[in-house]
Structure 1
Amino acid sequence: MSILRQRIRLDPRLLIGSVLVIASVLGVVWVVSAAKQTVPVYVAAVAIAQGDTISEQSLSLVEVPVAGSNELYLSPESLSDAAIITTRPIGAGEFIPLSALGAGDDASAPVVVAISGALPENVSTGVAVELWAAAPGERPGTYEPPVVLVQQAQVVRVLESQQLVNNGQVEVELRLPDADLAEVLTALTNGSRMHLVPVFQPVGE
């Protein structure tokens, strides 16, 4: 009888090894299963300037693997009917972080401005700029010294010219503070020459 009991006694090392193999297999199955699970989040379909209102036309929906960090980005669940604006520029193809979004307000408005001459190289969507204006002088063809109309405006987009002949101007859509709107519209009406100066210059090499 004692010999029979010794034969059926399990080796502890065999039991531990079996448990480790089973745990490893279950772990691999869980990782593969988790990798196949995705959630929808939004990316910017186009470059979005600071202060722009988020719309379906500016967004694309993509599927990404489930992860805790996905809760940091805009998703269909976090998108509401209320107006949402961006608090910083967002590049095309970039995930939309919730930290870069804010409640919409009426403190600014978009205005298309004809800029005299070529634009500085780094003026593009989302760039902060100063808007300068030189009013017409007393004699035809002359202009007064330029002054700053808006200390910080936001470039929404640079419009492509539809004219067959180059008139030396570039149309730029700017987002302006409401407090500066009347002065800018007055300058546009009286034929002032407009210029843009970037607020922040890139660091040179």
Structure 2
Amino acid sequence: MPERPTRPARERRRIDPRLLLGLVLVAGSTVGVWAVVESLDDTTRVLVAPVTLTAGSRVSPSDLRVERVRLGDLVDGYLVPGDVPDDGLVVTRTVRAGELVPAASVADVAVVGTATVVVPSRGLLAREI
């Protein structure tokens, strides 16, 4: 059996330039596809109620969860991160768990100083006072 010629111990192994070119092309195409997908992402970050929020309760930014959704032009009707001040907001109507928090369902703590109370009457009320 013929013997293989031995290489000197100090001889450097050369890397084929085609291998390097292939690696650069794969990396470049991966980054390119990621950039295209990210640029086409039209989702918006909005606040979601993780638990049911009842009218009159106070919520702070830590009480809400951030989700990415596709709302288009309707995003103005919902709370986005940064809309809730540090001292919180007061819920003016019930917001169910998992529901996007509508901007109309909360009010500033300073503005909400009164409450509507419904008292059922046993008899007929006068038409005028």
Structure number, greater radius of gyration: 2
Q: State the partner residue of 2:67.
A: 62
Equivalences for residues 22-37 of structure 1 within 5 A: 33-34=39-40, 36-37=41-42
8 A contact 1:74–1:97 mirrored in 2: yes
Q: Tell me how far 1:56 sits from its aligned partner.
A: 3.3
Q: State the partner residue of 2:49.
A: 44
Q: What is the CA–CA distance in structure 2 between the aligned matches of 1:83 and 1:56, rounded to whole Å?
A: 7
8 A contact 1:48–1:58 mirrored in 2: no
Identity among equivalent pairs (%): 26
Q: What is the CA–CA distance in structure 1 between the aligned matches of 2:62 and 2:80, rounded to whole Å?
A: 15
Unaligned segments of structure 2, at least 5 residues: 1-37, 121-129
Q: Tell me how far 1:87 sits from its aligned partner.
A: 0.8
TM-score normalised according to structure 2 size: 0.51
Q: Tell me how far 1:57 sits from its aligned partner.
A: 4.2
Q: Tell me how far 1:74 sits from its aligned partner.
A: 0.6
Q: What is the CA–CA distance in structure 2 between the aligned matches of 1:38 and 1:71, rounded to whole Å?
A: 13
Look up the equivalent residue of 1:55 and give its one-letter code. Answer: S
Please give the secondary structure, in 1, of the residue aligned with 2:59.
coil
Aligned residue pairs total 81
Identify if the C-alpha distance between structure 1 residues 66 and 106 changes in structure 2 by more than 3 Å, giving closer, same or farther.
closer
Identify if the C-alpha distance between structure 1 residues 97 and 80 changes in structure 2 by more than 3 Å, giving closer, same or farther.
same
Q: Which of 77, 83, 105 does residue 78 from structure 1 map onto?
A: 83
Q: What is the CA–CA distance in structure 2 between the aligned matches of 1:48 and 1:42, rounded to whole Å?
A: 13
Please give the secondary structure, in 2, of the residue aligned with 1:70.
helix
Q: Deviations over 1:111-131 (max 9, x none)?
A: xxxxxxxxxxxxxxxxxx98x
Q: Tell me how far 1:107 sits from its aligned partner.
A: 4.8
Please give the secondary structure, in 2, of the residue aligned with 1:61.
strand
8 A contact 1:45–1:57 mirrored in 2: no
Q: What is the CA–CA distance in structure 1 between the aligned matches of 2:101 and 2:95, rounded to whole Å?
A: 7
**Structure number with higher strand proportion:** 1
Q: Which of 93, 101, 111 does residue 96 from structure 1 map onto?
A: 101
8 A contact 2:60–2:87 mirrored in 1: no
Q: What is the CA–CA distance in structure 1 between the aligned matches of 2:62 and 2:100, rounded to whole Å?
A: 15
Q: Tell me how far 1:52 sits from its aligned partner.
A: 0.7
Q: What is the CA–CA distance in structure 1 between the aligned matches of 2:76 and 2:47, rounded to whole Å?
A: 12
Q: Comparing both chains, which one has the higher relative contact order based on Cα–Cα distances under 8 Å and sequence gaps of 6 or more? A: 2
What is the alpha-carbon root mean square deviation over aligned residues?
2.9
8 A contact 1:42–1:95 mirrored in 2: yes
TM-score normalised according to structure 1 size: 0.34
Please give the secondary structure, in 1, of the residue aligned with 2:46.
strand
Q: Tell me how far 1:55 sits from its aligned partner.
A: 2.0
Q: What is the CA–CA distance in structure 1 between the aligned matches of 2:92 and 2:71, rounded to whole Å?
A: 26
